[in-house]
Structure 1
Amino acid sequence: MARFFTHRAAMRALAIAALATAGGAVAETITISGRFPAQNREASYLRRLAIERFSGRDGEQLANAIGGALLQAENGGGRHFTLLGGGAGPARAEGVLSGSATSDWEEHRVKLMRNRCVERAAPESGESEGKCTKNEDVPVPCTERTTSLTASLRIVRVADGAIVYTATKPRSETISWCPGESPSQSAEATIADMISGIAGETRSEIAPHGETYKIRFREDRAGLSKELGVRFRDTVKLSQRDLRAACTAWEGIDQEQPGQLSTVFNLGLCAEQRGDYPTALALYRRAAAMKRAGDIDTAIGRAQALIAGAEDEARFRRR
């Protein structure tokens, strides 16, 4: 199955990259909202889900966390999943989610470097020990704890028994503390955080989601005539006050001097912002034919994902 621009982490990385500018200058950006498909689209189509009893020490806790996360999933029309319980749940469901989760932790002694007093002055009257006169990093006997959790998940489509989603999600975290310090949290709290993280991750993998993100306009005027270069520069500034007027101005520049990279790319952003994803994709591909660049490749993937997201949203509305 084709994987599009669907990871939330990738969206965050994109936003950071879009806002980065050379020399610390403030970049002009466009704010866009769109809906993206689930990473596993087939699983997202099974909207009536039954959650079977999970096996393992932490199975019940994970099943409850995933159930809560899935009830928060939304498509453009509202809540995405209906969770079915009781003995008839699987019979009435479109998909059945099952899994297991088991955690463990172990502690052992380690030597860690800590800054400690190694020399003291003679104690004055009434003092139990003198003032510290010298500190150094020295090895100290400490405690190290490693907490681990392994979860396995799968969704079976009731109609034909096909496994449409399967995932193994291992987690591990190591913390340490020394005399005079306390552990940052208990092993139980660490496991609870891991379970919560897995539940949220599962939701992002099998449910569509909306994103609002900022993308940097391209500002390179290379190849434009002097007059059009000035108009282009002014249009970039105009985009922050009147986006529609700026997009119209870029259309005029592209008509007068077709094929300038930044103009074409920015027109793609205009199309993406107004929800015309096929036109945006065509413009990004046109830009890619002029130059291969990271922001252009990312824009192509993003437009493909938005097209898929729009297709899925239309499918959800028909139900």
Structure 2
Amino acid sequence: MKHALLFLLPVLAAACATPGYDYEARMAPSFPQAAEYRDIAVGQFRGPAGNVAEAEFADMVEQVTLDGAYWFTLPSGEPMGLYQGRVDIESWEAETRFEREKRCVEYDGLFDCEHRAIVETECREETVEVVVTADLIDYRTNRLVFSQQQLGGASRETCVDVAEYEYHGEELGIWGEPHYSSYDPYNAPIGMVEDATVEAVRRFRNDIAPYYQTMRAEIMTDGLTPEARNDPRFAAAVKATRDGNFMGACAQWDELGREWTHAPAVLHNLGACAEARGDMATAQLRYARAAELAQAIPLLEDKKARAIFSALERVSGRRMDDALINSILYPEDPAPGS
């Protein structure tokens, strides 16, 4: 029964999700100024496992791609920027717990258990956390462009048998209270420090260069106005969206939009179609017009129109990200293909 419920959870979540159109969007890095530094070098990372951080950072930089091309370029002379930093061990902790299980302790033959007993096991799980700091330095001026920290962790578990006895009705599984211990971080096992450092460095990926993210242009399932609510084509387009029929749904929204020019939900859904196609300028215009019309509906609850304003904000952000990325990729033509 438990496994059946776990299987149903993703299905139920999908059924409850607001229908819409998924697409891949180019996102500006968390630190937009970092995108301007494509001709870079990776310098020294100090501290324990600093050599690991340096190697992992360099490897990550080499693998960053966008639109099918490598984002970072190898410097032919002096680089524009230099990434350097340090590794600090944040903590080294352990949890010790005790478990009982009924186990075969004596075999009469292969797969033939002669004697079962209770075996008590002591399990110790160690956890190490590190903080990796990465600084981007302007190579020419030695100016700090940005500094960011990322946390990484590693864990390992060891279990040893500590007792064996006949079963007398003892509770199986975990028993007793676990024991927690903290140790001097700088005595932490170096292998765990290195593993935690690798995890932390990987988290810098979206800080330093553009990346792709799956976005969803959600549609409105409530027509908001009587003409849209009462038109069976509106419900049919919603169903087509739920069924994954993007082309059919958008064709229906287009037909409704020509007839109901002042229906904000229809305009919003037309904006979702444009957004999913990558036409952010059209999407923004339609979302903006839908917001204007929604504000003019008397007594309309804010929560019913919230999707319109969220969509307008989202598309505005996408256009800003694209403008930043295009200005770097195509400095002579900020809007390629326009």
- The verdict on a shared fold, with TM-score over 0.5 as the criterion, is yes
Runs of 5+ unmatched residues, structure 1 = 1-15
Inter-CA distance 28–107: structure 2 relative to 1 (3 Å threshold): closer
| Identity among equivalent pairs (%) | 21
- Work out whether 1:210 is the aligned partner of 2:212: yes
Inter-CA distance 253–226: structure 2 relative to 1 (3 Å threshold): closer
> Which secondary structure state, in structure 2, belongs to the residue aligned with residue 53 of structure 1?
strand
51, 75, 94: which one aligns with 2:80: 94
Task: State the alpha-carbon separation in 1 of the partners of residues 202 and 151 from structure 2.
Answer: 14
Amino acid at match of 2:317: A
* Equivalent residue runs for 1:251-270 within 5 Å: 251-270=254-273
Task: State the alpha-carbon separation in 2 of the partners of residues 170 and 302 from structure 1.
Answer: 28
Provide the aligned length of Structure 1 versus Structure 2. Answer: 282
8 Å Cα contact 1:228/1:253 also seen in 2: no
- Work out whether 1:277 is the aligned partner of 2:258: no
Inter-CA distance 241–99: structure 2 relative to 1 (3 Å threshold): closer
Residue 30 of structure 1 deviates from its aligned partner by 1.8
Residue 56 of structure 1 deviates from its aligned partner by 1.4
> Which residue in 1 is equivalent to 2:32?
41
Moved over 6 A (4+): none
> Which residue in 2 is equivalent to 1:73?
64
Residue 102 of structure 1 deviates from its aligned partner by 4.0
* Equivalent residue runs for 1:17-56 within 5 Å: 20-22=14-16, 28-56=19-47
> Which secondary structure state, in structure 2, belongs to the residue aligned with residue 115 of structure 1?
strand
> Which secondary structure state, in structure 1, belongs to the residue aligned with residue 231 of structure 2?
helix
Inter-CA distance 225–52: structure 2 relative to 1 (3 Å threshold): same
Runs of 5+ unmatched residues, structure 2 = 1-9, 163-187, 295-301, 332-338
> 1:159-183 CA deviation, whole Å, 9 max, x = no partner?
54432220122334555443249xx
Inter-CA distance 44–284: structure 2 relative to 1 (3 Å threshold): same
Inter-CA distance 300–58: structure 2 relative to 1 (3 Å threshold): farther
Residue 31 of structure 1 deviates from its aligned partner by 3.0
Residue 201 of structure 1 deviates from its aligned partner by 1.7
Amino acid at match of 1:64: A
- Work out whether 1:115 is the aligned partner of 2:115: no
- Work out whether 1:311 is the aligned partner of 2:323: yes
- Normalising by structure 2, we get a TM-score of 0.67
Task: State the alpha-carbon separation in 2 of the partners of residues 113 and 43 from structure 1.
Answer: 49
> 1:205-244 CA deviation, whole Å, 9 max, x = no partner?
1100123445443322343437853011222344567645
8 Å Cα contact 2:272/2:283 also seen in 1: yes
- Work out whether 1:145 is the aligned partner of 2:126: yes
Task: State the alpha-carbon separation in 1 of the partners of residues 142 and 326 from structure 2.
Answer: 26
Q: Which moved more, 1:62-71 or 1:228-237?
A: 228-237
Q: Judging by fraction of residues, say which structure has more strand.
A: 2
> Which secondary structure state, in structure 2, belongs to the residue aligned with residue 147 of structure 1?
strand
* Equivalent residue runs for 1:87-236 within 5 Å: 92-103=78-89, 106=92, 111-116=96-101, 131-132=116-117, 141-173=122-154, 175-180=156-161, 190-225=192-227, 229-236=231-238
> Which secondary structure state, in structure 2, belongs to the residue aligned with residue 179 of structure 1?
strand
Residue 193 of structure 1 deviates from its aligned partner by 3.9
8 Å Cα contact 1:75/1:313 also seen in 2: no
Task: State the alpha-carbon separation in 1 of the partners of residues 34 and 215 from structure 2.
Answer: 26
- Normalising by structure 1, we get a TM-score of 0.70
| Structure of greater relative contact order (alpha carbons < 8 Å, 6+ residues apart) | 1
Inter-CA distance 235–34: structure 2 relative to 1 (3 Å threshold): same
68, 78, 82: which one aligns with 2:73: 82
8 Å Cα contact 1:76/1:313 also seen in 2: no
> Which secondary structure state, in structure 1, belongs to the residue aligned with residue 151 of structure 2?
strand
Inter-CA distance 131–206: structure 2 relative to 1 (3 Å threshold): closer
8 Å Cα contact 2:96/2:122 also seen in 1: yes
Residue 301 of structure 1 deviates from its aligned partner by 4.2
Q: RMSD of the TM alignment (CA)?
A: 4.0
